[in-house]
Structure 1
Amino acid sequence: VEGHRNLERINTNRVRGGMALVLAEGLALKAPKIQKHVKNLKIDGWEWLEQLISGVKSSSDSEEDEETDGKPKIKPKDKYMRDLIAGRPVFSHPSRPGGFRLRYGRSRNTSFAAAGISPAGMIVMDDFIAPGTQLKVERPGKAAGMAPVDSIEGPTVRLNNGDVLRIDTIDEAYALRSEVEEIIDIGEILINYGDFLENNHPLAPSPYCFEWWIQEYRKAAPDAETDEAELKDPTQEVALDLCKELNIPLHPKFTYLWHDIDNSQYTVLADLISEDGLLEADGSILKLPLQRTIDTGMKKVLEDLLVQHKVNDPTLTIQEPLPFIYSLGLDKRLSKGWDSLEHEELLENINEIAGFVVRPRAPTRIGARMGRPEKSDKRKMTPAPHALFPIAEAGGNTRSLEKAANFKVNTNSKAGTIPVEIGNRICPACGVEGFEFRCDCGEYTLPKLFCPRCGISVNKAKCPKCDSKTTCTSMRKIDFKSIYQKAYANIGERDHLDSFKGVKKMMSKHMTPEPLEKGILRAKHDLFTFKDGTVRYDMSDIPLTHIRPSEIGVSCERMIELGYLKDIYGKPLTDSEQVLCLKVQDLVISYDAADYILRITQYIDDLLVKYYKVAPYYNTKHIDDIVGVLLMGLAPHTSAGVLGRLLGFTTASVGYAHPYFHAAKRRNCDGDEDCVMLLMDGLLNFSRDYLPDKRGGQMDAPLVLTTRLDPSEVDKEAHNIDMCASYPLEFYEATQNIANPKDFEDTMDLVSSRLGTTLQYEEFMFTHDTSNIAAGPLKSAYKTLGTMVEKMDAQLELAKKIRAVDAPDVAERVLTSHFLPDMFGNLRAFSRQGTRCVKCAAKFRRPPLTGSCPKCGGRVILTVHEGSVKKYLQVSIKVAEEYNVSSYTKQRIELIGYDMKSLFENDKSKQMGLSDFM
């Protein structure tokens, strides 16, 4: 710190605490976003941000455009490839052909940092990607949550028999998955314009897709009445006729990836077809000699171009080949109409000799690897208690309340009398002292404060004698057995629970425990409490702006009762397949979460009836009964819950909600996860008195509740979401020149332009539909595979299968960023470890000289075991040899192997023969 140095109240002149977070997590990490605001506000003196953005440490991280032959290009970025973890596959190296092909647009379950891919692609890539799985991506941001969108193109694969085809449907994917020899192209990834705007990332060149082509068609033929659905999949004759009659580019269906091959390969391919090709069925089929196609390397070229074909030895067959043949400068007789290529860029040559315009089919590839898997699971503390009631060591390592009720300090002591640190409270009405929050007379108790130094009772925060902080907590013996029996009797339950756990110690300021009855009823319904007394369920966040009743398990009649009267086109709701605009505070949760919420409602009803002695509120028996109940969403590191309503269910392991709802929780959908809880549970059971008395103790707690969601008050990232039904033609054209996303802020229909009007809540549209928001695998393979070795084997097998991935590089990165650091760390921990008692869990820096625990006499064991140190050694040696990693990495593995051998093998007990001494 340069200013205001050497202050008495501050211990150091170094940057510390919150400022360190601001610099590292704020300025350095969010530099592109900050730069956007700096430019908007025209603030001087922040030019140094450009150095952070361009990447001082690595030039490969730069997002700056580079000029090649006067044409701007975007550099590949390999930042997402760092810190690779075993078991989480790489799907594409940076900007490599065969990787994800960028497609601009928004589906009803993407945007707000979530991207869409084909569910068929999820299945073909061995189920590693499921709805909600996080991918670390090359651009526009650092990560994206995955959502299934089946209206975009899936992967193109080569089967074991040599056939090359694109898989677009789930049924095809499951039928052909076992026959896939190589994944040539992993398909498209749908990213909306708003994500580029939010990240201040230059607009990467758009592929020539149907949304672009149809606008050029309408511009050329404004009065045409052709059905758009028919134009999506035209025949080759229709596509060629439209090119000639309207002078528009070739349809995307017949536009191949010419930019992925060079002029020489193009020439050889044209010569092969001209000399050895055979057109049949009036130009509907092209046959090539298979062996010659392979020998000349043209089989791979056809694969690179994504030309689908079938192999039936001795021929290779291509369906609807005329656009392909004409693009090669051949006529229908397969005669070559050109001698040489004049331009370095192949597409320039094709546009001269083909007779029509051919646009780039996939100019932008996006690299990606798996981040964290999707989540749909109950929130539990470690270990998970049913009740926030302290029992110290009386419950053993399992913290069993049943054990504590029968605990004896020694053989002569009374069973169930246990020493605990707990808060002392006093009833203001009758003066009875205890620790309960409520007195038997019905009055709420108050903390009984005293000075820990002077020992006098004080009703202030500080002692008037010694100025020490007062407290109400102390060590005292409580008759827990009678409390335990009284709690069961009060709610009319029998003591037959399989498991009933408390906590060793309260972490709150006044150490006030919650009523034991609440824990009994939680244990009865197999629920666990969190630190604040609530029951929570965690799910990955995925956006959703539109729903179909059929996909969320709710009838049209019930939807109408919940306020959904018309679809997005203004028609009355009569069919479960109609598309409806999701209300901003409605939630669609996983079926696992629904089952947990159902149990919470039943627990709340039991609590109301048996403990509070009032009528039940929910009266639920099936998950259908919880549709319409009020929930509360809450994200970690925040203290404000957001009111929501349960609308329906999904088989995906995610929590679907409107982007506004996620933004109100201060989250986006790049793989983040947070929780929901039943509103009634929060109102009845949450208490600030249970929250830990430490820094950050009031985080992740619903201190306040947002009941009405105002879009103008949520995180501004949600304001950059586009809500239009299509992107303008000028947008696609501008992306070819790496335009600035800010240039289209006024053109696009963004949320920011609707704020303060009724349209901020309604009339949202999307560019790409999906038939089912839960399509694809139910769980990522990362969660279903067993050991880490099995996960890594699957990861490397997939790497060998995907053309856009360098399997040896993946193997090396996993070894250097995961296995080697893990082995070195565990070896260091083994040499510095302490010991612990298996009976009372006491920890010791060094082993006691007696060999047993000095506190209880229990057995003392090591805390780090040999197996945890050596667990990755053999698999590392195997992977290093199989994938021929660098000699440096092999030597590092050998060296750590020697270290482990010298540590764990006993030379003195080694069996030796006479020959060893000769």
Structure 2
Amino acid sequence: MSEQMSERIKNYINTLENNLDKAYSVAIKSRSLGFDPEDEVDIPLTKTLPERVEKLVASAVPGLKESGLSERISELEKEYGAQAWEVAMIIALEVAQQKFCKFQNSKDAMEAGIRTGFAYATMGIVSAPLEGFIELRIKKRKDGKEYFAMVYAGPVRGAGGTAAAVSLLIADYVRVKMGYGAYDADENEKSRAFVELTDYHERVTNLQYKPSEEETKYLQSHLPVEIDGDPTEEIDVSNYKDLPRIATNRIRGGMCLVLSMVALKAPKLWKAVSKIQSQFEIQWSFLSEFIALQKKMKAQTSGSNDAGRKILPDYTYIADLVAGRPVLSFPLRSGGFRLRYGRSRVSGFSAASLHPSSLFVLDKYIATGTQLKTERPGKAAAITVCDSIEPPVVKLLDGSVVRLEHADKHIEGIAEIIYLGDMLISYGDFYDRAHPLIPAGYCEEWYSQEFEAACKEKFNTTDPEILSSELGISPKIISGILKSPLTKYPNAKESIMLSMNLGVPLHPRFTPYFSQIAPHDLNDLNSWLQKGKLHFEGNSLEKIVLPMDHSKRHLEILGVPHKVISGEKIVVEKDEANVLFVLFRLGDEKKELPKFDDPVELINSFSPVKVRDKAGTFIGARMGRPEKSKMRKLTGSPQTLFPVGNEGGRMRSFHEALSRGKIKSSFPLFYCASCQKDSIYRICINCRNKCEQRYYCRTCGVTAKQTCQHG
């Protein structure tokens, strides 16, 4: 226990451990009486990951118990780091080389080694290494050499996509070191894999990611280890049956899950494998080409048309859309959810935040806890709310445009959602999914850092009092920008003053979405704004009044709030009026905008105040699986503690079954030698002696042996 812990925490942990020990002693004593199916407590106590791995695998391979396995894992962790894939690969090989215990044959040793590495990759907390990975089969290549076939079953789902894919990496390392050949899939086996994936996806259950035919065949052609599986469904595959090296015609759920996960996790796999493959003498460079192919398939484009485009739209999240789950925004579509990096107190890993007004403008269809499938960084996110991010910008029924910070004011009068607002996503989600970071829009926390850097560079201080005297801005405002940028900000005039004095961009709160408008539309807007009437009160610009014109649409796309008066006049007031006045130099003589292909560069070349791209990247999203949040219960909430069968009636009532005097169900067979009576209990209810287990064969009847001549 760490010496840095307080006495209170130490006492708390000691209390937990002491009470746990007492509970285990009671459980051990209870199990020793023999009334339970097993005489030992199933879950062993462990404190570290290496101990968990050893005890988990030892339940299937008893020889590894107290063999020094956990100590060796701890040594490797010191060398490579905790939870490193290198540790899983090395420990798998050492078990396969029988360094910890002896096995009947090398196949059993290699299988145990792969289980051990797989258990480490899953942190020793799921049953997938024992129940999801069924066995290692040694099959023949066309040239007569032998190769590995990893046989999976449904419980491999519990490992998670990454760990399931890593199990193949572990197996391949063992294969290479033990001198076996690589898998050589033929055309029928490649086609069978795609057909089986399609059948599983369409006839059994939705895969998290269904690879295309091209992706599937590419993986089958290059994976050095075969992904095989036991039949998990009663349904046969629709085509490519009776293949010599595939033992069943039925759908193999485990195979489908793992193969789809390799496709889904390819970027994450390659990011890690590319650093270690030369050291471990494995060849997984094909993943690099596969990722390029995958991007092309996801973007639904030939690739050549988007050669100059760095970020391609990803349609995966809407590929298998189900009725009743609305699409909130399409891939990279302007006006969708704006990417914002960060996390609130209620968001985090696989949990994103939206502005409360975003939930309202979507007709309250999205609520806290709703699952959304997102375009980036992939997978899904549970939704929470955060009111310090960018709210939606909407157009009202009268044509006015407002920044909807308080949805209840205008919720009944919305005609169009121009911008949905921010989606706050943590960096960790991008890291976990191995998704490259993509451009985010200009935001308050970015502005705060640029402001701080500019103050240090020009005045060599960030003291609010000193800066106030130099800049002519309230110390309270300056302190707010530096310490609380999400809730404290300058007004438009102050922001313009700071931009001119420090050279920092215009504050993001007042920055229009210039990147969402075409340069020629910006010229139209400029010409229209020049026609506006400026209304001053003293030296202060209060509003700009503009005639109704088609250029109003450009103002809407920029996200600039304004009012429509009697359907004839457009009024831009106060902060927004001051921003447009400076950006378009409305006080000067009429000027034409210069020619630029990029609208942000165009406005920066013309305006005395610098602006940044406020839009960044828009993210597509749709509703996920709302029905999964419901409580799962059977009709009538029947109890299942006692096997009362049909005799318990519709409610599976224990009392109703008791009134009938008997039940029909499946029970184990036992025999008491002392009383010479059959029983369904391990302990005889008459003499309290331990009974002998019996088995049943349809031909032989009841037998004392677990196997007979019939199987």
Measured against the shorter chain, the TM-score band is 0.5 to 0.7
Partners in 1 of 2:345 and 2:691 — Cα distance? 52
Give runs of aligned pairs for residues 279-428 of structure 1, distance below 5 A.
Answer: 279-281=535-537, 282-289=539-546, 292-293=547-548, 296-313=549-566, 314-319=568-573, 320-326=575-581, 328-331=583-586, 333=587, 335-336=589-590, 338-373=591-626, 375-380=628-633, 385-396=638-649, 399-407=652-660, 416-426=661-671
Question: Deviations along 1:283-337, whole A, 9 cap, x unmatched?
Answer: 4432324xx43xx322221111110122232432223135532454324x3643x
**Do the aligned partners of residues 448 and 202 (structure 1) sit closer, same or farther apart at CA in structure 2, a change above 3 Å counting?**
closer
Change (3 A) 1:422 1:42: closer
Deviations 1:101-145 (A, max 9, x none): 011112233232222111221122112222221111111123222
Instruction: Choose the corresponding residue for 1:106, options 333, 343, 360.
Output: 343
2-side partners of 1:318 and 1:87: how far apart? 40
After superposition, what is the alpha-carbon deviation per residue over 1:731-752, rounded to whole angstroms, capped at 9, x for unaligned? xxxxxxxxxxxxxxxxxxxxxx
| 2:415 aligned to which of 166, 181, 184 | 181
Q: 1:582-731 residue pairs with structure 2 within 5 A?
A: none
Aligned to 2:694: 449
Match of residue 14, structure 1, among 246, 250, 272: 246
Question: Match for 1:360: what amino acid?
Answer: D
Q: 1:273 Cα shift?
A: 1.7
CA 69–401 in structure 1, closer or farther in 2 if over 3 Å, else same: closer
Q: Percent identity?
A: 34
The residue aligned with 1:889 is none
CA contact 1:156–1:186 (8 Å) conserved in 2 = yes
Does 1:132 pair with 2:369? yes
- Give 2:402's aligned residue: 165
Asked if 2 retains the 8 angstrom alpha-carbon contact of 1:390 and 1:422, the reply is no
**Please, which runs of 5 or more residues in structure 2 have no aligned partner?**
1-138, 150-229, 231-242, 465-477
Q: Deviations over 1:56-81 (max 9, x none)?
A: 595453899999997x6311112212
Q: 2:680 aligns with which of 435, 438, 441?
A: 435
Match of residue 290 from structure 2: 52
- Contact 1:65 1:74 survives alignment (8 Å): no
1:747-896 counterparts in 2 under 5 A?
none
Higher mean C-alpha displacement, 188-197 vs 316-325: 316-325
- Does 2:322 correspond to 1:88? no
| Cα contact 2:371–2:624 (8 A) shared by 1 | yes
Shift of the 148–265 alpha-carbon distance from structure 1 to 2, 3 Å rule, reads same
Q: Deviations over 1:514-560 (max 9, x none)?
A: xxxxxxxxxxxxxxxxxxxxxxxxxxxxxxxxxxxxxxxxxxxxxxx
**How far, CA to CA, are the matches of 1:453 and 1:404 in structure 2?**
29
Q: Secondary structure at the match of 1:153?
A: coil
Instruction: Give the whole-Å Cα distance in 1 for the aligned partners of 2:659 and 2:352.
Output: 56
SS state of the match for residue 338, structure 2?
Answer: strand
The Cα shift of 1:433 comes to: 4.7
Paired AA for residue 315 in structure 1:
K
Shift in CA distance, 397/221, structure 1 to aligned 2, threshold 3 Å: same
1 CA distance for matches of 2:274 and 2:297?
A: 23
Conserved 8 A contact 1:63-1:201 = no
CA distance in 2, matches of 1:49, 1:15: 28
Alignment match, 2:507: 251
User: Which region of structure 1 is more displaced relative to structure 2, 179-188 or 417-426?
Assistant: 417-426
2:264 to 16, 26, 29: 29
Match of 1:260 in 2: 516
The letter of the residue matching 2:565 is N
What residue number does 2:193 align with? none
Instruction: For residue 275 of structure 1, report the CA deviation from its aligned partner.
Output: 1.4
Counterparts of 1:424 and 1:133, CA distance in 2: 48
- Over the aligned positions, Cα root-mean-square deviation in angstroms equals 3.6
Show the counterpart of 1:208: 442
Aligned to 1:74, the other structure's residue is in SS state: coil
Matched residues in 2 for 1:273 and 1:91: separation? 33
Q: Write out aligned runs for 1:509-528 (5 A).
A: none
Q: CA deviation at 1:50?
A: 3.2
Question: Is the alpha carbon distance of 1:179 and 1:442 closer, same or farther for their aligned partners in structure 2, counting shifts above 3 Å?
Answer: farther
For each residue in 1:375-408, what CA deviation from the matched residue of structure 2 results, as whole angstroms up to 9, or x when unmatched? 555444688530343444434555454544455x
Aligned to 2:16: none
Structure 1 pair 65–116 and aligned structure 2 pair: CA distance change class (3 A): farther
Q: State the Cα deviation string for residues 615-651 of structure 1 (Å, max 9, x = none).
A: xxxxxxxxxxxxxxxxxxxxxxxxxxxxxxxxxxxxx
Deviation at 1:274, TM superposition (A): 1.2
1:41 paired residue number: 276
Aligned residue identity for 1:50: S
Q: Cα–Cα, structure 1 residues 312 and 3, in superposed 2: closer, same or farther, change >3 Å? A: same
Quick check: 1:54–1:64 contact (8 Å CA) kept in 2? no
The aligned counterpart of 1:3 is 141
Q: CA deviation at 1:260?
A: 0.8
Q: 1:2 to 1:299 in 2, by over 3 A?
A: farther
What letter is aligned with 1:213? Y
Deviations 1:459-490 (CA, angstroms, capped at 9, x unpaired): 4423xxx4456xxxxxxxxxxxxxxxxxxxxx
2: CA distance, partners of 1:88 / 1:423: 46
Alpha-carbon distance between aligned partners in 2 of 1:364 and 1:425, rounded to the nearest angstrom: 67
1:418 Cα offset (Å): 4.6
Count of residue pairs the alignment pairs up: 447
Contact 2:583 2:609 in 1 (8 A): no
CA distance in 1, matches of 2:674, 2:288: 67
Counterpart CA distance in 2 for 1:303 and 1:442 is 88
Structure with more helix by fraction: 2
**Residues 228-250 of structure 1 deviation map (CA, whole Å, 9 limit, x = unaligned):** 25763211121011111111111
Unaligned runs of 5+ in 1: 408-415, 470-918
Write the letter of the residue equivalent to 1:452: C
Cα-to-partner distance string for 1:555-578 (whole Å, 9 max, x where unaligned): xxxxxxxxxxxxxxxxxxxxxxxx
Aligned partners of 2:564, 2:499: CA distance in 1, in Å? Answer: 30
Q: Is the 8 A contact 1:424 1:448 kept in 2?
A: yes
TM-score (norm 1): 0.44
* Correspondence for 1:227: 479
Distance (Å, rounded) in 1 between the aligned partners of 2:443 and 2:687: 71
Distance 2:360 2:672 in 1: 63
Q: What do residues 196-236 of structure 1 show as CA deviations (whole Å, max 9, x unaligned)?
A: 22222222112111111111111111313221257632111
Q: Do the aligned partners of 1:154 and 1:188 also contact (CA within 8 Å) in 2?
A: yes
Corresponding residue SS for 1:321: helix
Which letter does structure 1 place at the counterpart of 2:272? Answer: H
Distance (whole Å) between structure 2 residues aligned to residue 453 and residue 266 of structure 1: 84
